[in-house]
Amino acid sequence: MTIKNRCLTFALILIFPMTIFGLIEQTSTAADQENVEVTVYNSNLGLIEDVREIALEKGRVALKFMDVASSINTRSVHIKSLSYPDKLRVLEQNYEYDLMSPSKLMDKYVGKEVKLLRYNEFKDTTEIVTATLLSNNNNQPIYKIDNEIYLGYGGRVILPEIPEDLIARPTLVWLLENGTNKKHKIQVSYLTNDINWSADYVMVVRKGNKSCDLNGWVTINNRGGTAYKDAKLKLVAGEVHRAEEERFDRIYAKAELAEAASPQFKEEGFFEYHIYTLNRRSTLKNNQEKQIQLLEANNVSIKKELIVYGYQGYFTRRYTEKIPKQDVNVFISFMNSKDNKMGMPLPEGIIRLYTPDEENTLQFIGEDRIEHTPIDEEVRVKVGKAFDVVCERRQTDFERISDKTYETEWEIAFRNHKKEDVKISLIEPLFGDWEIIKSTHNYEKIDAQTIHFDVTVPTGKEVKITYRVRVSW
């Protein structure tokens, strides 16, 4: 044996002690769990903390830690003994994810003998044939039976055993140095993808459009490849920054909505985020979508608004054709404050609005997405567009003062076909240096580039706002 080969052999002995020295192997499953905590982030990320009581043999042990997520980030795994931290040392960690399947099992037996169980319809019996599997390309087996080649063969394939390098489910394998015969309470934590949560809200606008009832729900979707039984559940809301890294994807009942008399989540500030802890334990099954009520608030004061938004490009060109009618947008807003029977930081999500019709049947009226909203901030939701309120814009004058200065005069007409008076807000975005030369209505300067008109339009009437503006850029 050459010096090079001796060095290689020595290196393999160090790397693969289980194979060379018949190392003691032990297995831990979910049955050993004493506690499991699941923290779900609203960015397709979960933090799992799994505590198990395991009686390890003293000395060097290979521990197979099963029932972990198939989407685990193996670089995030942390293991420690809560009982005897100074007696347990981790020498090596492996993640086994070559999961068995019919095609993989067949591939492992290429060149080996298998048994074929076949029903003989003429004799009304079953017979077992021994064959050598020559190939399994594209799941099309080729057998050698009694020195003849068969392209496929009817019947079931019987394999003598599962190959060592195939496993039934994803498994962490640690090479441990254990210094005690006493049981360890081992804590394992790791990050996993393919588990996510989102918030959804249901708002029922009461008649008169002055108040509403609001319910919030969280939906947890677990596609991580394992179940978490009787877990302590936490949800984190906020934008958690993650370093981008190359990821290799591996191929590996919706709960009924129930009434809740009291909040099920405890909310608290956490670093620069908010964390919501469920005040009971819950089981997250694999490939399950679960919904849990987040909040319930009744008689929340709201404000309905009709808003028309202008366009900056109006002020530097002459319009010779009729400008299309403008959208009259409908918004519902409310304060997220304790005085308004709210006061919980609201995670971002979709809010769906309903209101009763004349027969007191709830009808869907629109939906929108809200952002993360702290306490004492306003939530504004776009519901849709007004049907019976019309807005038309007409350019009544255009004058080019210089290459970069223009004067335009505008008439904005509002017509109200509803049975009650309406208040409409007109938001006009300007640019450059601007000056309102004249106006039929008072306006408010919102910021350096925006003015705001409010106008009340009686039922069945038309009201016009006329103003002249000079812009320079």
Instruction: Encode pLDDT of 60-78 as tens digits.
Output: 999 999 899 988 988 899 9
Mean per-residue pLDDT, 107-120: 86
Specify the pLDDT at position 2.
44
Query: Model confidence over 317-355: pLDDT tens digits?
Result: 888 888 899 999 999 999 999 999 998 899 999 999 999
Query: Model confidence over 204-250: pLDDT tens digits?
Result: 999 999 999 999 999 999 998 899 999 999 999 877 777 765 444 43
Specify the pLDDT at position 1.
45
Fold of 303-336+378-472: Immunoglobulin-like (2.60.40)
d(CA 294, CA 200): 9
Specify the pLDDT at position 255.
33
Give domain limits for the chain.
Answer: 3-99+167-192, 102-158, 194-301, 303-336+378-472
Select the more confidently predicted residue: 102 or 455.
Answer: 455
Q: What rounded mean pLDDT belongs to the chain?
A: 86
Q: CA torsion sign, 141 to 145 to 151 to 155?
A: negative
Query: Model confidence over 421-460: pLDDT tens digits?
Result: 999 999 999 988 999 999 999 999 999 999 999 999 999 9
Q: What percent of the chain has pLDDT over 90?
A: 64
CB 438 within 8 A of CB 401: no
Specify the pLDDT at position 99.
59
Specify the pLDDT at position 102.
79
Specify the length of the chain in residues: 473
Residue of 425, 417, 418 lying closest to 455 (CA atoms): 425
pLDDT of 81 higher than 70: yes
What contacts 359, CB < 8 A, 6 or more positions away?
A: none
The side-by-side arrangement of strands in the sheet containing 59-66 is 24-28, 59-66, 171-178, 88-96
Specify the pLDDT at position 100.
62
Question: What is the number of other CB atoms lying within 10 angstroms of the CB of residue 199?
Answer: 22
Mean per-residue pLDDT, 403-407: 91
Specify the pLDDT at position 251.
32
Specify the pLDDT at position 205.
96
Mean per-residue pLDDT, 116-131: 83
Mean per-residue pLDDT, 358-370: 94
Burial call 393-415: b when 16+ CB within 10 Å, e when fewer: bebeebeeeeeeebbbbbebbbe
d(CA 442, CA 192): 57
CB 435 within 8 A of CB 445: no
Q: Tokens 């050993």, residue?
A: 32
Burial call 429-461: b when 16+ CB within 10 Å, e when fewer: bbeeebeeeeeeeeeeeeeeebbebebebeeee
pLDDT of 12 higher than 60: no
Distances (CA, A) of 189 to 35, 80, 383: 12, 9, 43
Mean per-residue pLDDT, 355-382: 94
Specify the pLDDT at position 185.
96
Mean per-residue pLDDT, 288-306: 94
Of 224-228, 311-315, 377-381, 403-407, minimum mean pLDDT range: 311-315
Residue of 309, 314, 326, 308 lying closest to 468 (CA atoms): 314
CB 205 within 8 A of CB 271: no
Query: Model confidence over 459-468: pLDDT tens digits?
Result: 999 999 999 9
d(CA 218, CA 195): 13
d(CA 217, CA 199): 6
Specify the pLDDT at position 74.
86
Of 76-80, 162-166, 404-408, minimum mean pLDDT range: 162-166
CB 459 within 8 A of CB 416: yes
Query: Model confidence over 253-296: pLDDT tens digits?
Result: 333 333 334 578 888 887 778 899 999 999 999 999 999 999 99
Q: Tokens 């223009």, residue?
A: 406
| 235 backbone dihedrals φ, ψ, rounded to 5° | -125, 130
Q: Please give the model's pTM, rounded to 2 decimal places.
A: 0.74
Residue of 234, 206, 239, 215 lying closest to 357 (CA atoms): 206
d(CA 159, CA 150): 18
Specify the pLDDT at position 19.
39
Identity at 266, one-letter amino acid code? K
Which DSSP state fits 358?
T
pLDDT of 34 higher than 50: yes
